[in-house]
Amino acid sequence: MEHFSKAWIQIVTLSLLISYFNIQPSLGFVAHSAAGIKVHFSSRSEYFRTKALPPDASLPELSNEEIARYSRHLILKDCGMEGQRKLKAASVCLIGAGGLGCPALLYLAAAGVGRIGLVDDDVVDESNLQRQVAHGTSTVGKPKVESAAARVADLNPNCEMVLHRVQLTSDNALGVLGGYDIVLDGSDNFPTKYLINDACTILNIPCVYGAILGFEGQASVWNWPPGVGATYRDFLPQPPPPGEIPSCAEGGVLGILPGVIGGIQATEVIKLILGKGDILASRILIYDALSMRFREVQVRRGPNAEVNQLVDYQGFCGVGPAAPKPPPEEEGFRRLGAAAAAARLAGGWAPFVLDVRLPQEAEIVRLPFADALVPHREAAAVADQLPRDRDLLVHCKAGGRSATACKALAAAGFERERLFNLDGGILAWAREVDPSMPLY
């Protein structure tokens, strides 16, 4: 134990000396200019400082109140008065006031970023409160941008909030994001991530990326330096097939996880503004909360990064506008509402009831008369184990996954007249039939 303590003290002392005297490691870093010329820097930090956001001779002054508020920044060697004035002069646009956007927003506002844009067209839902820390019980049902702006106004009234209560699209993205120094991607779907990446590439601004699911998260800074650093398209040239990656609503997410990743994103934004440190560019940081480990993957800029115009990102990701439902007689299964299903059951109907949610969802609430639990992605694999001599009623949380399972079962040969999807799922059952059941 004594040996460990001495070693630890030596490590900490050395770290403090390096930090205080600004000692740089002797490792070199070679960058390639746009003309292909090799330029040697003593460290990655020096290279990125040369690419920092341009200093402004007319940086805004700090008031006495701001000096008191930001005093811990002002005595920080790599921030100081000039750095804080840069933060005040900077503008950052956050896409999404959800799990990632909320912690990033609060820390950027608290840090003194002068102007923050916030893009989100959603309203606060009770299920958001487990992780979206800018919102509260009193703001359920209110627009997220307004809820978050009210929180920022209390946290730091010096921060100017610009609210964009819109869905970011190919038609409005350049207009919304143009004029900001940095964009922070807090979106939760592939079409929007590709859209944000491409818009930032066209506008020549950095995109601070984050993504979360379950107990894992990712962060990076795309297009930094602009036209040189790797982009999201270098990391993921083609989107995964629709439905292959579950959403947070389907797969769940640890409430603390977006705080970790959103905090990393906010840190990178501040480093970009200050022109300090080794930016998380051309590499992606992957965090596993269960093992409490971080690892990195290098990403190189290639021809995929070149973008000249915005496209149809829903179509690109294969999740275009919902197609109109085919006539009932053309579907391979029948649809039944919760109230109608309850009436038929009360009249003696006895179908085999298949729950296609995840096991952990069934632990929250389940229909007491369900016969089997099989996740919807596995429905086709168990088709031979399901009865074909009686009706089959399939349900999930809201009706979407069960409809997918019904299609798979119809393709496996189940008769349309015996195959039923519970439209609205167990949520509809709770609202229309049994209000004592919890909603989730």
Asked if 248 is an active-site residue, the reply is yes
For 161, residues 6+ apart whose C-beta sits below 8 A from its C-beta are 116, 117, 118, 149, 152, 153
For 347, residues 6+ apart whose C-beta sits below 8 A from its C-beta are none
Q: What is the CA radius of gyration of the chain?
A: 26
Token duo for residue 70: 């930001």
Contact 313, 194 (CB under 8 A): yes
Token duo for residue 323: 């197609």
CA-nearest of 59, 305, 56, 314 to 204 is 305
Long-range CB contacts for residues 357-364, cutoff 8 Å, separation at least 24: 357/396, 357/397, 357/401, 357/426, 358/250, 360/252, 361/397, 361/440, 364/438, 364/440
Contact 211, 204 (CB under 8 A): no
Token duo for residue 200: 């930032």
Catalytic site residue from 79, 248, 317, 406:
248
Contact 129, 135 (CB under 8 A): yes
Could you tell me the sign of the dihedral formed by the alpha carbons of 162, 164, 168, 172, in that order? negative
Name beta bridge partners: 208: 184, 221
Burial pattern 9-40, b for ≥16 Cβ within 10 A else e, equals eeeeeeeeeeeeeeeeeeeeeebeeeeeeeee
Could you tell me the sign of the dihedral formed by the alpha carbons of 270, 212, 204, 277, in that order? positive
User: Can you tell me the distance from the alpha carbon of 312 to that of 68, in angstroms, rounded to the nearest whole number?
Assistant: 48
User: Can you tell me the distance from the alpha carbon of 343 to that of 360, in angstroms, rounded to the nearest whole number?
Assistant: 28
Asked if 317 is an active-site residue, the reply is no
Amino acid at 314: Q
CA-nearest of 352, 389, 350 to 373 is 352
> Nearest 5 degrees, angle CA 211-CA 398-CA 404?
85
Catalytic site residue from 79, 207, 396, 406:
396
> What residues are annotated to the active site?
248, 396
